[in-house]
């Protein structure tokens, strides 16, 4: 029983990490219908920059912030410089973002090399906690992940649903022409969305590099998990990303614990079942 | 017949070129071209860009490795007349299965789903030791012998790949004109109308994916004979993206773009070392890909065709498959 509960807790913390990683991807996709395949690379950029900053300054918070800002700048540049010119041609945008992801991954490999890095945690998050009922030790950072995910999810939801900026972005998705006619600079708004998505990816990258580690290939790992999370949960809804992350995280940990060599199959089976029943994802809106 | 005529000049190349050019450039380009053709076929006629082609090719390659001579003591050795059809059947069935999973998804959704399938297959081959021998995979795989002649020798391998490529192009051409091929194109253009006519949409989509699996499987078999080994890296993210790069560089408007893309890719891969650091190849190929997508979204093939039109000063006859 204890084993089962620990595996469940592992699943929950992993789900939190997946949600953090997928939220930026889901945001950009949901608002702009752009599949940003360079999302994994942005996450990795955030992780690497975060590592270097923490290494230099010793402050974890500044590291997370700088990682987020670096990926945010990368996102803005990608949208303003390349993808913005292809707005409306989704396939071309997807292919272009793949090219960008290849370039970014190679540049990062060039600069940071093929070494595995782990970001040093602040004292408050390092070490472990003794869990009250189970009586076993558990890493504090992994418990903190759940908190980070809740805060991020809530903030994102408030931003999109409750603020004026969020309303403008939502309007831009529904009717670009009208918003432009009303005098809103739609291209700048889309660059902003990309910057925000990059920010989320970059911060998730630093957190992932602290809780786990970061090395070449991390980009692909999180791109895949984000894809599956978003496919399962439903494209472009915060709640969908949360539900998708929960299912995938739990499935992966149960799979790892009870059927080690077939872990991937569980994740995959969930995706297939969801697609068979609800192609738009569990909480996604059907395509018009 | 058209393809037979195109093949003739290529048949004399073994007399002119040395083994390096023949094997490392032309044969490699042909094998990559056949695999990328499976993607170009789907993109041209079904309008779906699939990222699962490396997994399909890998499934056939792994079958050949598992049921053939290898040096890792896994699997059952079958004669080649049994293992080759088996590999093709498995690749075709796997293709059909992917089609079934992705049948209701188009455009970017199909990309995400097939990418997830492709990458999941990669992680699966890495974790599973019973069938895929995990990380290390299979080595010591041998191509069949015909009498004393090994099909892995440069000239026989080249000729075999060339004929297979010609046959694959002819098959694609014939399949596209067949009633099923026409239905597939109808599904691409107007799925709603096809359904309104009372034709189920699932069958053509699954058929297109299955045929694409057959093509990819052919490429996968040739590749495993060429490389003489197969491992999880053969179906990893690198090969997935390489196939896409080849198809996009060549152009997704017509299946033959795959071979144009393949030769450009192999030439870059082989000779880029002379200009840039070997380690930075991804930077080069990524930049080339980005440039092509920005400048010529329909690939090199379209650039050549447009150039030809401008030279002649006449409009090219409208593409049958826009």
> Is residue A26 a part of any domain in this protein?
yes
**Nearest Cβ partner for B112 among A33, A107, A231:** A231
pLDDT in tens, B215-266: 999 999 999 999 999 998 899 888 998 999 899 888 888 888 899 999 999 9
Total domains, chain A: 1
Collect all residues of chain A within an 8 Å Cβ-Cβ radius of residue B280.
106, 110
**Nearest Cβ partner for B115 among A85, A89, A227:** A227
List the single range of A11-15, A193-197, A259-263, B107-111 with lowest mean pLDDT: A259-263
> Is residue A182 a part of any domain in this protein?
yes
> Is residue A127 a part of any domain in this protein?
yes
List the single range of A193-197, A221-225, B202-206, B275-279 with lowest mean pLDDT: B275-279
**Nearest Cβ partner for A264 among B109, B120, B294:** B120
| Average pLDDT for B60-86 | 89
For residue B230, give the 3-state DSSP assignment.
strand
Beta-carbon separation of A103 and B287 below 8 A? yes
Higher pLDDT, B287 or A269: B287
Mutant choice from A91, A109, A262, A287 vs B, greatest count of B C-beta within 10 A: A91
**B212 within 8 A of B38, measured Cβ to Cβ:** yes
Cα separation, B26 vs B4, whole angstroms: 18
pLDDT in tens, B242-256: 999 899 888 888 888
pLDDT in tens, A229-246: 888 888 767 888 899 999
Token pair in block for residue B253: 């408007």
For residue A288, pLDDT over 50 is answered with no
Hey, is the C-beta of B235 within 8 angstroms of any chain A C-beta? Answer: no
The pLDDT, as a whole number, for residue B316 is 44
Cα separation, B242 vs A265, whole angstroms: 25
Rounded to a whole number, what is the distance in Å from the CA of A228 to chain B's nearest CA?
A: 7
pLDDT in tens, A162-176: 899 888 887 877 777
The pLDDT, as a whole number, for residue B75 is 84
Determine the structural domain holding residue A47 and report its residue range. Answer: 2-13+20-216
Rounded to a whole number, what is the distance in Å from the CA of A50 to chain B's nearest CA?
A: 23
Collect all residues of chain A within an 8 Å Cβ-Cβ radius of residue B282.
102-103, 105-106, 109
For residue B1, pLDDT over 80 is answered with no
Please report where in the chains the tokens 């950072």 appear, as a residue: A141
Token pair in block for residue A176: 């670009």
pLDDT in tens, A177-230: 888 888 888 888 889 999 999 999 999 999 999 988 898 888 888 888 888 888
The pLDDT, as a whole number, for residue B320 is 44
> Is residue A266 a part of any domain in this protein?
no
Instruction: Report which secondary-structure segment, H or E, holds A138.
Output: strand A137-139
pLDDT in tens, A7-47: 888 899 999 999 999 988 888 887 787 888 899 999 999 99
Q: What is the pTM of this model?
A: 0.84
ipTM: 0.83
Q: Average pLDDT, whole number, for chain A? A: 86
* Residue in chain B nearest A94 by alpha carbon: B108
Hey, is the C-beta of A33 within 8 angstroms of any chain B C-beta? Answer: yes
Domain parsing of chain B, residue ranges: 2-237
Cα separation, B108 vs A18, whole angstroms: 21
Beta-carbon separation of B105 and A110 below 8 A? no
> Is residue A152 a part of any domain in this protein?
yes
**B137 within 8 A of B234, measured Cβ to Cβ:** yes
Cα separation, A123 vs B251, whole angstroms: 54
Please report where in the chains the tokens 């793949």 appear, as a residue: A98
The pLDDT, as a whole number, for residue B67 is 92
């Amino acid at each position: 029983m204890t084993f089962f509960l620990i595996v469940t807790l592992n699943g929950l913390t992993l789900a939190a990490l997946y949600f953090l990683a997928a939220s930026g991807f889901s945001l950009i996709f949901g608002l702009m219908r752009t599949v940003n395949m360079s999302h994994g690379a942005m996450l990795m950029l955030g992780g690497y920059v975060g590592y270097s900053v923490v290494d230099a300054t010793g402050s974890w918070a500044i590291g997370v912030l700088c990682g987020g800002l670096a990926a945010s700048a990368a996102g803005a540049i990608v949208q303003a410089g390349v993808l913005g010119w292809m707005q409306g041609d989704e396939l071309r945008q997807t292919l272009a973002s793949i090219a960008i992801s290849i370039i970014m991954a190679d540049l990062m490999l060039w600069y940071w090399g093929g070494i595995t890095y782990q970001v040093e945690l602040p004292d408050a998050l390092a070490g472990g906690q003794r869990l009250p009922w189970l009586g076993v030790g558990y890493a504090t950072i992994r418990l903190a992940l759940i908190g980070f995910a809740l805060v991020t999810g809530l903030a994102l939801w408030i931003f999109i649903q409750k603020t004026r900026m969020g309303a403008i972005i939502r309007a831009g998705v529904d009717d670009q022409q009208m918003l432009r006619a009303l005098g809103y600079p739609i291209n700048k708004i889309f660059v902003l969305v990309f910057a925000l998505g990059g920010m989320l990816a970059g911060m998730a990258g630093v957190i992932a590099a602290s809780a786990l580690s970061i090395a070449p290939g991390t980009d692909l790992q999180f791109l895949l998990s984000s894809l599956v999370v978003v496919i399962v949960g439903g494209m472009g809804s915060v709640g969908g990303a949360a539900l998708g992350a929960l299912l995938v995280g739990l499935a992966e940990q149960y799979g790892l614990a009870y059927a080690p060599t077939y872990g991937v199959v569980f994740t995959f089976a969930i995706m297939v079942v969801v697609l068979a029943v609800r192609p738009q994802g569990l909480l996604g809106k059907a395509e018009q | 017949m058209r393809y037979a005529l195109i093949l003739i000049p290529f048949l004399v190349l073994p007399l002119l070129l040395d083994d390096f050019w023949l094997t490392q450039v032309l044969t490699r380009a042909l094998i990559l071209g056949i695999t990328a053709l499976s993607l170009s076929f789907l993109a041209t006629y079904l309008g779906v860009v699939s990222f699962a082609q490396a997994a399909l090719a890998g499934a056939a390659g792994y079958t050949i490795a598992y049921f053939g001579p290898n040096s890792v003591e896994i699997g059952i050795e079958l004669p080649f007349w049994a293992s080759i059809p088996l590999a093709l059947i498995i690749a075709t069935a796997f293709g059909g299965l992917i089609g079934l999973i992705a049948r209701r998804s188009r455009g970017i959704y199909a990309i995400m789903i097939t990418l997830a399938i492709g990458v999941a297959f990669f992680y699966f081959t890495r974790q599973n030791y019973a069938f895929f021998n995990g990380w290390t995979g299979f080595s010591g795989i041998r191509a069949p012998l015909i009498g004393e002649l090994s099909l892995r020798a440069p000239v026989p391998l080249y000729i075999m790949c060339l004929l297979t490529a010609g046959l694959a192009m002819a098959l694609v051409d014939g399949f596209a004109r067949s009633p099923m091929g026409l239905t597939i194109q109808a599904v691409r253009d107007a799925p709603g109308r096809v359904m309104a006519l009372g034709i189920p949409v699932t069958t053509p989509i699954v058929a297109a994916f299955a045929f694409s699996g057959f093509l990819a499987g052919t490429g996968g078999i040739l590749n495993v004979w060429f490389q003489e080994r197969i491992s999880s890296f053969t179906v990893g993210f690198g090969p997935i993206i390489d196939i896409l790069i080849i198809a996009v560089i060549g152009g997704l408007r017509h299946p033959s773009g795959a071979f144009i893309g393949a030769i450009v890719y192999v030439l870059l891969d082989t000779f880029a070392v002379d200009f840039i650091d070997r380690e930075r190849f991804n930077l080069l190929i990524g930049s080339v890909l980005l440039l092509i997508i920005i400048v010529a979204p329909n690939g090199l093939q379209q650039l050549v065709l447009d150039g030809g039109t401008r030279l002649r000063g006449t409009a090219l006859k409208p593409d049958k498959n826009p």
